[in-house]
Structure 1
Amino acid sequence: MTPPATVLLVFGRGVTAGDGGYRLTAESVARTEAAVAYVHAHAEAFRRTPGARVVFTGGWPHGPAGEPAPPPGFREAELMRALAREAGLDAYARSAAETHSRTTVQNLAHTVQDGLLGTTEFTARRPLGLVSHPWHLPRVRLLAARV
């Protein structure tokens, strides 16, 4: 039996501007809620594992070319992290936000370059959890193996 992943990498699916602010797409909300539900389901593992964390990724992926990115605090990963924290994530795990990316490849590269996954070496006994939609996971797995 594979132990639960206690380091999660949550991929965003967009943020939109309008009505005087920024908001997550329904897909980004669903991914955030799935991550929080997973952490709650494995709360004891998250509490007892040093380095347990949830990393949210995404900057301004669907912003029109040439448009300025949202101000700090309103980028995709920051909005996802805030939603997770409102749902009580902090009681079980640390969280971080990678906010400079526009693509899945950049999500992974910036997360690694910025040290957001910590020093954990991921193995079958210590897996990295990838949170996305089923149609996106094959791409994420392929790219994560390379990064």
Structure 2
Amino acid sequence: MSRAFAKPLRLPFQVDADLLVPFASLPAMAILKLLAWRDRHHESKRDATDLLILLSSYAGAGNEDRLYGQESGLMEQYGFDIDLAAAALLAKDGSAIASAEARAQICEVFDDEVKYQLLLEHMAFGDRFALRDGESDPMESLIKSVRESSRHWVSALS
């Protein structure tokens, strides 16, 4: 998978003086989950639901100050909805470390309407029960933000 990244995807975490543990950044994990879903979505919905978790938790993963500071334009663009702005920021950050090949593969998912709709379906219902008539899904706006935030992947290809 190292071909998926133009920049290093691991961050060191100092456990103690003698133990340094590398781990993947959240944007790197999002890239890996999206590419994994692209390759094996017929086997499992898990990669899509994992991607949704990453999208929905990015603001609270140390990015709130960025969203209200240097990335405040995203907040304005998304009507000051921090979850939507954070999803766009995750795509932007992922695009910054993804290789051109990985960005092209990701754009294939977003540009193919059938695959894109399947991704949304897997994100919405992967590990959950379908909603009853009249019920609203609290994740609906976040799931819809996936398409909007995909333009950050596409713009990086230009």
- Identify whether the pair has TM-score above 0.5, normalized to the shorter chain: no
Structure with greater strand percent: 1
Scaled by the length of structure 1, the TM-score of the pair is 0.31
Q: Which has the larger radius of gyration?
A: 2
Scaled by the length of structure 2, the TM-score of the pair is 0.29
Structure with greater helix percent: 2
